[in-house]
Amino acid sequence: MLGVHRSGVYYVPAPVSQRELDLRWRLDRIYTAHPEFGVRRMVLALGDQGWSVNPKCVRRLLRAMGLEAVYPKPRLSLPGPRAGQFPYLLRGLAITRPHQVWAADITYIAMAEGWAYLVAILEWFSRYVLAWELSVTRDRDFCVRAWEHAVTVSGCRPQIMNTDQGAEFCSMEWTQAVSGRGTQISQDGRGRCLDNVMVERLWRTVKHEHVYLHDYATVPALRRGLHGFFPFYNDRRWHQGLANRTPWEVLNSYPKDEPEGGQ
């Protein structure tokens, strides 16, 4: 009568073991340093660290974490479900001013007692992080919230919004939220990690310069730490690619009387 399946009533999900959490944490660190490593190289890397793990286990964990090695893949022209509906608009485009292009991506963060997903909206020209959101599930809502927050704090919207072809960024909720602001949607080519290289570089900085140093145990602790790190990244961290200036300096040095994105 209630439409509740019997197995959902008596089954109690088994908690993730501490060994698996430790393996996920180590795989995340190896992948951030060497995204080109596949399953077999991951097994060898774990072996060097004293972990005896078979390839089947490593493959399962990498899939659960949403991690995939960067390598040339066959049959790249075949579209996946709902993927490829938006072209990559940045090829050959000169990005010469703030708010011309924004980029977004999601990364996995391992913790002592679980894992979380972090999405960030990055202003491409200055590398300024406009907004970010944290979630324990890869849903669409936290991506849309980050987009709306970025539009609110910046007071404008970009001409182009670039993402990968992940399910969150191909969803109706995301595409309607972005295109509804009059922004063109751009998506990376399949298997082309360098199409969104600015955000990929951001993830390396966030993990190596903050997350790995603190080894957070819980999501609230991670959230508090990121609330302290991103203002440092935006306002006080120098970038060689920005002539040793901060993202805030580059973003605010642009003449205000020239158009910056759209209103």
Q: Is the pLDDT of residue 80 over 60?
A: no
Q: Please, which pLDDT band fits residue 79 given cuts at 50, 70 and 90?
A: very low
Specify the pTM: 0.71
Residue predicted with more confidence, 185 or 68: 185
Q: Which pLDDT value is given to residue 254?
A: 76
- Asked whether residue 250 carries a pLDDT value surpassing 60, the answer given is yes
Q: Give residue 228's Cα distance to chain centre.
A: 19
- For residue range 135-158, list pLDDT tens digits in order: 988 888 999 999 999 999 999 999
Structural contact between residues 117 and 136, judged by C-beta atoms closer than 8 angstroms: yes
Work out the end-to-end distance of the chain between its first and last CA atoms, rounded to an integer number of angstroms: 53
Using DSSP's 3-state secondary structure scheme, residue 58 falls into: helix
Residue 36 has pLDDT above 60, yes or no: yes
Q: State the pLDDT confidence band at 73, using cuts at 50, 70 and 90.
A: low
What is the tens place of the pLDDT at every residue in 111-136? 776 789 999 999 999 999 999 999 98
Query: Could you give the C-alpha distances from 7 to 1, 14, 16, 160, in angstroms and in order?
Result: 15, 14, 20, 47
Please, are residues 168 and 143 in contact by the beta-carbon 8 Å criterion? yes
Enumerate residues 6+ apart whose C-beta is below 8 A from 225: 210, 211, 214, 216
pLDDT of residue 102: 96
The number of angstroms, rounded, from the C-alpha of 122 to the middle of its chain's C-alpha atoms is 10
Rg for the chain (alpha carbons), in Å?
20
Structure confidence at residue 69 (pLDDT): 82
- Residue pair 147/177 in contact (Cβ under 8 Å)? The answer is yes
> Any idea where the domains of the chain sit in the sequence?
15-65, 101-253
pLDDT value at position 161? 96
> 101-253: which CATH topology?
Nucleotidyltransferase; domain 5 (3.30.420)
DSSP-H helix ranges across the chain: 7-10, 18-33, 39-48, 55-65, 141-154, 167-170, 172-179, 197-206, 212-214, 219-235, 247-253
pLDDT at res. 74: 52
DSSP-based helix, strand, coil % in the chain, nearest 5: 45, 15, 40
pLDDT the model gives residue 121? 97
Task: For residue 238, give both structure tokens.
Answer: 């120098």
The reported pLDDT for the residue numbered 166 is: 84
pLDDT band with cut points at 50, 70 and 90 for residue 77:
very low
Q: Is the pLDDT of residue 99 over 90?
A: yes
